[in-house]
Structure 1
Amino acid sequence: MVTVTYFPGETVTLLLESVEAAADWVKWGRPTVVMADNGSTDGSIEEVEKTGLATVLHTGGNLGFGGGANAGVAALPKAMEWVLICNSDLTFAPGAIEELLSAAGRHPRAGALGPMLLTPDGQPYPSARELPSIGRGVGHAAFGWVWPRNPWTKAYRRDHEIPQERGAGWLSGACLLVRRSVFDQLGGFDPAFFMFFEDVDLGDRIGRAGWENVYVPSARVTHIGGHSTQRHQAEMTAAHHRSAYVYLARRYVHWWQAPLRMALKAGLTIRSAMARRSAALAGGADLPTRPEINCN
């Protein structure tokens, strides 16, 4: 297990404590937990080191999520078949990792598997989506925040469907069980994405390489929300839009597609500026309420 930290506060301790009941470790063997820290100075990492619940890897600087995850995975023995990569602001429901490992046995072509992510109030977050395209991406970005049920957002997020185990275009990197051989084969997360869209890009490359991204909603993980994200909201918004452009521009690389790339860059630059001034726009499309889903 690899978790990436950057000023995580107390959330990382909650994450590590929730691992104990997340699987039958007598059957699977105790997990090796590596915390790849990108330069935290809030004292939280020192507290974790005292507990002995994880080995702390100091990356030497802020490498972003993908860079930190790559460093953490590289520190693990090559013989490990599966690696669980996750944010530090999560808690696992009892049996969540067990469900992911069991699903891996049912899907021999799975390169990555992801759980159902839940908000603190128990609502599912759309963590298994289709790959963004010009149509879905532009429609979702332009209309999602004012018209959450628009057809582009629904087609992209698939969050109005009844949750079931299925394939996906990509899975949220907030919690991702990856097949180590596939992760190494693909070179891990692309360092061109400092934050955001590194998971979209990885899911895309997993599919192109002939492997599957599998959504496992029977595995439940609650996303608490970290201190780092809250403290750096404006920077996060800007990074999200920069990464969106990098991802889309790489899909339209021909010379005759230059006007499209210019239009994408202009549109995302404008949206980024507007999102920094509008909490509603920055928040994106509202989540559909599913009262029947509960992590307790």
Structure 2
Amino acid sequence: MSTVGPAPVRVICVVFHPGAELEDFATSLKGASTSPIELVLVDNGTDDTVTRAVAEAHGARVLRPGINLGYGGGANAGADDADTPWIVVANSDLVWGPGALDEMIEAADRHPRAGALGPALLNPDGTVYPSARELPSLTQGAGHALFTRVWPGNPWTRAYQQRQQLAGGERTAGWLSGACLLLRREAFEQVGGFDSSYFMFFEDLDLGERLGKAGWENVYVPSARVTHVGGTSWRERPARMISAHHASAAQYLCRRYHRWYQWPVRAVGRLGLKARERVELRAAR
């Protein structure tokens, strides 16, 4: 990766005790763009052996905050001194498709109000993960939360996820998965980056919502394809991840319905989330 002159793209990968997937990420990234790339690895963990080995092999820079900042906080730290027009925030358990990053940058040129752009996220079996979603209404959010496990095809989940296919063109969405995001630095800085109070989960939904309110668009680019191996953190720490997910969901719920007369929504929603968390924790044992 070129380190001569200012790089047009800074790719930020937030890691926590990564494994072999980080090498796959960095290797595949080389074929994702013809532009020079500045790779920054933000290591939230306590053992950076793997991170430093990958950084040395691929000309990346390692940033160690000294504490676990979470996903959004780590991404903000990685973007803090960026002077590139484009910032990419991505999980370490991704394999980039050839030219995927170039596809998103070209799409951004076609959508000058795009603050965030996301690729088609493929599961390892080649199916498409619903990564471009609408902002959830109260009924959609409740229906999705209650029934998605036992009735995946329920109408609330279908409406919320807007299940996309690889066929079809670019479109706007309410928000895009933070597993892989191309961000226009101007837009990212205007809204203050990620809200780091979301330690994990929902920071991408919150960012997409704030970008939309600021007049920017979230654009889904299905011609850019990235495979999300997924689950590397979940497999090792499922209970902690489940609890973190539900804590962030409760935080988002309370912030979105913050008015005094909406307290029944907050109360019922938090009770429902706590009940679902208990069920999922029992199933994860």
**Distance (Å, rounded) in 1 between the aligned partners of 2:62 and 2:75:** 13
What's the CA shift for 1:226?
A: 5.0
Given that 2:43 and 2:62 are in contact with CA atoms closer than 8 Å, whether structure 1 keeps it comes out as yes
Which of the numbers 82, 92, 107 marks the counterpart of 1:88?
92
Quote the residue 1:7 is aligned against. 17
Given that 2:128 and 2:164 are in contact with CA atoms closer than 8 Å, whether structure 1 keeps it comes out as no
Give the TM-score normalised by the residue count of structure 1.
0.89
Quote the residue 1:66 is aligned against. 72
Q: 1:70 to 1:88 in 2, by over 3 A?
A: same
Quote the residue 2:246 is aligned against. 241
Identity %: 53
Which of the numbers 211, 215, 222 marks the counterpart of 2:216?
211
Which ranges of structure 2 fall in alignment gaps of 5 or more residues? 1-10
Q: Which runs of 4+ in 1 moved over 6 A?
A: none
Q: 1:97 to 1:40 in 2, by over 3 A?
A: farther
Given that 2:88 and 2:182 are in contact with CA atoms closer than 8 Å, whether structure 1 keeps it comes out as yes
Quote the residue 1:48 is aligned against. 54
Quote the residue 2:132 is aligned against. 128
Which of the numbers 154, 157, 169 marks the counterpart of 2:158?
154
Which of the numbers 254, 257, 261 marks the counterpart of 1:256?
261
**Distance (Å, rounded) in 1 between the aligned partners of 2:168 and 2:147:** 24
CA RMSD of aligned residues (A): 1.5
2:279 is the alignment partner of 1:274: yes
Q: 1:234 to 1:94 in 2, by over 3 A?
A: same
Deviates more, 1:105-114 or 1:40-49: 40-49
Q: 1:59 to 1:163 in 2, by over 3 A?
A: farther
Given that 1:111 and 1:182 are in contact with CA atoms closer than 8 Å, whether structure 2 keeps it comes out as yes
2:40 is the alignment partner of 1:34: yes
Quote the residue 2:184 is aligned against. 179
**Distance (Å, rounded) in 2 between the aligned partners of 1:170 and 1:18:** 25
Given that 1:11 and 1:226 are in contact with CA atoms closer than 8 Å, whether structure 2 keeps it comes out as no
Which of the numbers 234, 237, 243 marks the counterpart of 1:232?
237
Which ranges of structure 1 fall in alignment gaps of 5 or more residues? 283-296
Given that 1:8 and 1:226 are in contact with CA atoms closer than 8 Å, whether structure 2 keeps it comes out as no
**Distance (Å, rounded) in 2 between the aligned partners of 1:130 and 1:49:** 36
Give the TM-score normalised by the residue count of structure 2.
0.92
Quote the residue 2:3 is aligned against. none
What's the CA shift for 1:40?
A: 4.2
Which of the numbers 3, 25, 28 marks the counterpart of 1:18?
28
